[in-house]
Structure 1
Amino acid sequence: MNPVSPLDSVYFINIPEDFSLSDKAFHLDTTIPLPVQKKYEDAPGTFDMKSLTEEQILAGLLTIMAYNPKNEHILYYRSILKHARPNLKKELGEAAILKAKNEDFDLAEEIFRALHGFDPEDMTIVLNMALFFDQRADSYRRSGLHDDADAYDEDAQNYYREALDAEPVLPDAFFNAGFFYLKKREYKKAKDVFETYLALTCDVKDEELGENGIYKKNRAQQVLNDISNRNMDDDHFKAAYDLINRGEEEKGLEEIRNFIEKNPSVWNAWFMLGWGMRKLGRFSEAKMAFEKALTLEGGETSDTYNELSICLLESGDIKGAKKLLEKALVKDSENTKIISNLGYIALKEGDPGMAAGYFQTVLEIDPDDKIAAMELAKLDI
């Protein structure tokens, strides 16, 4: 069954000579079909011009902006929207950001796409779209939807690239792209964009930057120092992550061991070693690597505790695994992966009521978490 296209909900109608969009004088070209959003109650193939509303026309125009921005009449449609809604960019921008903040992702994406179609030259919109897709990817990955997360990361990367090429230059594009590349373990790229951000802002006075701008400069420098001090832009480090991530663990472990030989005090490297071992089911070796990571500066993270708990659980140490997850939860109280793992611990302890509570908490934080929903359905409590 073919998915329904949003464009299927739009009529193209020929308007009569005496029709006007609003009380303001504005000439509508009767030779160009006008997109109109269907009403839910409309029967297929029916349309009543007498019941046509301005809202239907505006909704139809926005659907074209979002899903058919290369329409042959797009410039004309934009001119109608600019006349009918002079503050449209501001209204759409605020609505999209609010929907994204509330994780109403489908509607936020539709609004962002309409906004971009309305003004594709506005690079601030492009950067906001990059940030949105970046956020959406993170949310999906927390829910265990890794394929969807990777797809949205790809969208985010494309918009970041466009924002990085903006003229005039957007310093914030470099700052935000830096954290995107950090997330992807692409440390050389992260280093490059953070260095560019600092170069672009180095001559700006503190009073012009403001408190937020000063924070960003300090944060960018902190990340750069961290990358350099830990040699994280080393080729072995990046290669190890890529290999382990795509299932070539043995090759990845060889690369990370080469890195550790030269950089024995980098906690991320020991974490990656443990991650590769854990994926191979070599839990005792993984356990030692994660324990080593915990002893190093920066290594006491919720992810390290979580990974180590998995190793303990596999060895039969349920109590030890639970303690580690509780430590992880203190550091990251809304991490659904950790909360789900506590649910599995409760099941192993024979407490389905407690397990259900954990899985329900996951769904309260992330209603789209399919794994928690499945486990809760199994419990039927």
Structure 2
Amino acid sequence: MASANPLDSIYFVKIPADAKFSSEAMKIDSSVELPVQKKNLDDPVEEDFAKLSEEQILSGILTVLAYDRENKNSAYYRKLITDIRPNIKKELAEAAILKAHDEEWELAEEIWLAVHGIDPEDYAIILNLAIFYDQKADSFRRNTLNEDADAFDDLALTYYKKVLDSDKELPDGYFNAGFFYLKKSEYGEAKACFESFLALTSDKSDEELGENGGYKKERAQEIINKISNRNLESDRFHDAYKYISSGQEEKGLEEIRKFLVDNPAVWNAWFLLGWGLRRLGRFADAKAAFLKARECEGGDENADTLNELAICQMETGDTEEAYDTLKEALSMDCENTKVISNLGFLSLKLGKTDEAKKYFEVVLELDPEDKIAKEELKKL
């Protein structure tokens, strides 16, 4: 998040009684000061309304709506900006989606907060904010900025809960929240979300649900079945994940081993066991756990499993195996920057610096903010 306060870039001006923005605009209340966005932070305050551009006023209003939700004139500012620019909410939402796609996170966040400020009761916008922070967290975690990623996950959860707790039943809210909980290995919550999604869409045709409607229903049911069949709602599995992810690996390993006694064919459990062991530096044992995960149904379909296995193979000196494993993982997910980065490190380990450089360059093409790849290229 930006460290500077965005509200420092605005000031307020008095409006002449006869002022107006356009012939279509509503009558301006001259008793209400309007916010003005400075072009540069060090610019002097311009109090002559006639010398200010309409864009400076609109930008100032957006900044207030985004960052000063308690402003006593917010309702007036919302009415004014939507009267002047009737399509502004749609235009800004489209711009925010594009910026997020290009991983221009700070700008995308500013735009989404402004859109939310224009219409705080629009739950489709609130859902988009949840998805945005969810994606931003994933990007930061790929760059090993785990504390920031956790903070953005918390923000995503806040907005997901607003959607799920509202009277507005948005099926896509439950669908996207389901995947968020899957990411956090909170399988009970994930299953409940996907079940709610199916309940809300049970009487709707694929056409009514729009693009990918049929696929979403099939995918939701598939995930529900897997969670149930693998007993992933178990408190023991949940506790194991919580312990390991919070640095209490020994407690987590104890819980997951107990889970495996009754659920020996669940690849997710073997993965969790391997993850905990790898975090403790027990690479040979972790390698065995990841190999066991691959033997279970579904365990050989996940690039993350193969990536973790390859890390252990590198640490145990099985470099040829590691290379084959990473190549297989890359064939499953050709844009997985963790896999590509590890191919770079393995190439360095084998003395293939030119090849390593190419891998790190590919990582930066996919994610220009990847700090690890930047650092390694500097060294090279």
Normalising by structure 1, we get a TM-score of 0.95
Shift of 1:26: 2.6
Q: How far does the alpha carbon of each residue in 1:321-360 deviate from its partner, in whole angstroms, 9 at most, with x for none?
A: 1121111111111111111111111111112222121111
Q: Residue 277 of structure 1 aligns with which residue? A: 277
Aligned AA (1:67): Y
Is it true that 1:203 corresponds to 2:203 in the alignment?
yes
Shift of 1:210: 4.8
Long gaps (5+) in structure 1: none
| Cα 1:25–1:243 shift into 2, 3 Å | closer
Counterparts of 1:61-80 in structure 2, within 5 Å, are: 61-80=61-80
SS at match of 2:71: coil
Distance 1:356 1:211 in 2: 40
- Of the structure 1 ranges 112-121 and 34-43, higher mean CA displacement relative to structure 2 is found in 34-43
Aligned AA (2:249): E
Counterparts of 1:326-345 in structure 2, within 5 Å, are: 326-345=327-346
Distance 2:314 2:206 in 1: 51
Aligned AA (1:75): A
| Cα 1:125–1:210 shift into 2, 3 Å | closer
Native 8 Å contact 1:278 1:286 kept in 2: yes
Native 8 Å contact 2:130 2:160 kept in 1: yes
Q: Residue 305 of structure 2 aligns with which residue? A: 304
Native 8 Å contact 2:92 2:115 kept in 1: yes
Q: Residue 114 of structure 1 aligns with which residue? A: 114
SS at match of 1:299: coil
Q: How far does the alpha carbon of each residue in 1:273-292 deviate from its partner, in whole angstroms, 9 at most, with x for none?
A: 11111111111111111111
Q: How far does the alpha carbon of each residue in 1:200-247 deviate from its partner, in whole angstroms, 9 at most, with x for none?
A: 222224453356222211111110000000001111111111100011
Native 8 Å contact 2:134 2:180 kept in 1: yes
Q: Residue 233 of structure 1 aligns with which residue? A: 233
SS at match of 2:212: helix
| Cα 1:205–1:346 shift into 2, 3 Å | closer
Distance 1:227 1:77 in 2: 48
Q: How far does the alpha carbon of each residue in 1:39-83 deviate from its partner, in whole angstroms, 9 at most, with x for none?
A: 238634455544211011111011111111221110111111011
Q: Residue 369 of structure 1 aligns with which residue? A: 370
Shift of 1:102: 2.1
SS at match of 2:200: helix
Counterparts of 1:159-238 in structure 2, within 5 Å, are: 159-210=159-210, 212-238=212-238
Counterparts of 1:26-105 in structure 2, within 5 Å, are: 26-40=26-40, 43-45=43-45, 47-105=47-105
Normalising by structure 2, we get a TM-score of 0.96
Native 8 Å contact 1:342 1:355 kept in 2: yes
- Of the structure 1 ranges 107-116 and 318-327, higher mean CA displacement relative to structure 2 is found in 318-327
Aligned AA (1:373): K
| Cα 1:195–1:39 shift into 2, 3 Å | same
Distance 1:44 1:211 in 2: 50
Native 8 Å contact 1:142 1:335 kept in 2: no
Q: How far does the alpha carbon of each residue in 1:131-175 deviate from its partner, in whole angstroms, 9 at most, with x for none?
A: 111111111111221111111111110000001122231111111
Distance 2:140 2:264 in 1: 33
Q: Residue 249 of structure 2 aligns with which residue? A: 249
The number of equivalent residue pairs is: 378
Q: Residue 133 of structure 2 aligns with which residue? A: 133
Aligned AA (1:146): N
SS at match of 1:269: helix
| Cα 1:11–1:256 shift into 2, 3 Å | same
Native 8 Å contact 2:271 2:305 kept in 1: yes
Shift of 1:368: 0.9
- Of the structure 1 ranges 91-100 and 256-265, higher mean CA displacement relative to structure 2 is found in 91-100
What is the Cα-based RMSD across aligned positions, in Å?
1.6
Aligned AA (2:225): N
Shift of 1:24: 2.6
Distance 1:375 1:305 in 2: 23
Is it true that 1:313 corresponds to 2:314 in the alignment?
yes
SS at match of 2:329: helix
SS at match of 1:86: coil
- Of the structure 1 ranges 3-12 and 17-26, higher mean CA displacement relative to structure 2 is found in 17-26
Counterparts of 1:3-42 in structure 2, within 5 Å, are: 3-40=3-40
Distance 1:61 1:69 in 2: 11
Is it true that 1:147 corresponds to 2:153 in the alignment?
no
Kindly, what percent of the aligned residue pairs are identical? 57
Aligned AA (1:33): E
Long gaps (5+) in structure 2: none
Distance 1:42 1:267 in 2: 58
Aligned AA (1:145): L
